[in-house]
Structure 1
Amino acid sequence: MNYQIVINNIDTVNEVEGYWSDEDLIALLEKFNYPDGATADKSSLPELLEMAISDYEPNEAAQIVLEYKLGEQLSDGQIEQISNNMLIDKVCEEYPEIHMQGTLFHVNQLLFKAYNGKFPNAKASIVHFSMTPTEGEVQKLTSENVLKLLNKGLSDRNLIKRLFENQISQNIPFPEAESIIWELTTEDNINYNLVTSENWINKDDIQESEFESVLEEVEDEA
């Protein structure tokens, strides 16, 4: 199916609003030995958590937050290693398990704010775009659909194109797309917002802001 693609804007942000829920903040406050989070004013929870975190050594705090978010997926040894590496590298951009990179970004930025820059400052991109079919009916697009359609407008320097050239350009499965795109939202199945790492898509990656693209049906590898 043919689509008309328009990339309206890319916002570069230090954090994604709404990722940490009030329940998350209360649970983390308890883990940082602040038991009164449940009775605190909701608007004060982020500030209270930053204060509670800053009472700990940076790598120790990182272990606590990582255990909370990824304790079921990582071993204690992995968490300890990542907590130390986070102080010197943007682990959220380099970690080989792509499906964890989004969570690692949010953990990193929580710690970056609490410690006023002791952790590297990673950034995310929020891409605002539209994808309008020039024929046929409007349908809700998946992360895989979106990246394949965006391919034509991305520079050859783009990291996704360099690492996943075949998957993004051919009608074969691209399962990594679900991990590369952290959030994909739309209200009308035409205008979309996606959230991803600046490492995956940034403003310099866009070589065309308006173009046509074809979405082919993915062939079953079996």
Structure 2
Amino acid sequence: MTKFKVTIKNITTVDELPDYWTDEDYLNLLELFDFPEAETVKKENRLEYLKMAISEFEPAESAAILLNYKLNDKLNEGQIDQISNDMLIDRISEEYPEIDLHEPLFHINQFLYKAYNGKFLNSLATIIGCEIISADGKLDPTDKELFLKILTGGLSDRNIIKRLFREQLDENTSLPEANDILWKIENKDNNQFKVTTSQYWINATDIENPKFETQIELQN
């Protein structure tokens, strides 16, 4: 068993995460939304013009275009049609059964939420700043399963991760869903980490103990 000392230093919620949409995306989407001579638009103006172009389309139609652009390798035409309509009434980025799609659906939903001034439901991401000290030395920030198991040591039993995956957590068995529950882990400095996930999975009220210790038997 390896002991981990954890301090949750801050937890914030945001309605947008950087670096998902690129300048190339904006150019491609301008063309998909029939903006004339899209290639002549300067990079710094593409997002502004894209929002103008989107406003000429019905919300569900815009949703379908964005879904097809980003997720046509994972969703078929019928699924895209269904999701594009459901996004207007449900938080699909939290409720969709395939959790590997939660992160891209969050980015698509929030783009539409802002483009249509709130016609789509708002969704939030959680960013956790924490210090994690391992008795065995340095932690690998790519090991999302270990990080998730560590963090759940300080979460309330009401937390949805602990309720849905109680058996895997209690028995310390494989939890591959961790790769999709935790969107990003950044090693900021030594034992300092920034963990990004959906507010659906972890929110501020879930943090029962900002300082705690937990023991986990590391998997080979």
Shared fold per TM-score greater than 0.5? yes
Q: For 2:153, what is the secondary structure of its paired residue?
A: helix
Distance of 2:37 and 2:73 partners within structure 1: 26
CA offsets, 1:161-214, max 9 Å, x none? 111112233321000000111111114452111211111000000000011112
The AA in structure 1 aligned to 2:111 is L
CA offsets, 1:122-146, max 9 Å, x none? 111111111111x332131411111
Q: Provide the residue aligned with 2:88 in structure 1.
A: 87
- Report the TM-score when normalising by structure 1: 0.93
The AA in structure 1 aligned to 2:102 is Q
Computed over aligned residues only, the root mean square deviation of the Cα atoms, in angstroms, reads: 1.5
Distance of 2:39 and 2:162 partners within structure 1: 45
Q: Provide the residue aligned with 2:211 in structure 1.
A: 210
Give 4+ residue runs of structure 1 displaced > 6 Å after superposition.
Answer: none
Q: For 2:53, what is the secondary structure of its paired residue?
A: helix
1:118 is displaced (CA, Å) by 0.6
Distance of 2:156 and 2:37 partners within structure 1: 50
The AA in structure 1 aligned to 2:136 is G
Q: Provide the residue aligned with 2:138 in structure 1.
A: 138
Q: How many residues align?
A: 218
Distance of 1:177 and 1:37 partners within structure 2: 40
Q: Provide the residue aligned with 1:21 in structure 2.
A: 22
Distance of 2:101 and 2:119 partners within structure 1: 22
1:56 is displaced (CA, Å) by 0.4
The AA in structure 1 aligned to 2:51 is E
CA contact (8 A) 1:156 1:162 kept: yes
The AA in structure 2 aligned to 1:145 is L
- Report the TM-score when normalising by structure 2: 0.94
Q: For 1:92, what is the secondary structure of its paired residue?
A: helix
Q: Which runs of 5+ in 1 are unaligned?
A: none
CA offsets, 1:89-141, max 9 Å, x none? 101110000100111111000000010011011111111111111x3321314
Q: Provide the residue aligned with 2:34 in structure 1.
A: 33
Q: Which runs of 5+ in 2 are unaligned?
A: none
Percent identity of paired positions between Structure 1 and Structure 2: 46
Distance of 2:18 and 2:7 partners within structure 1: 24
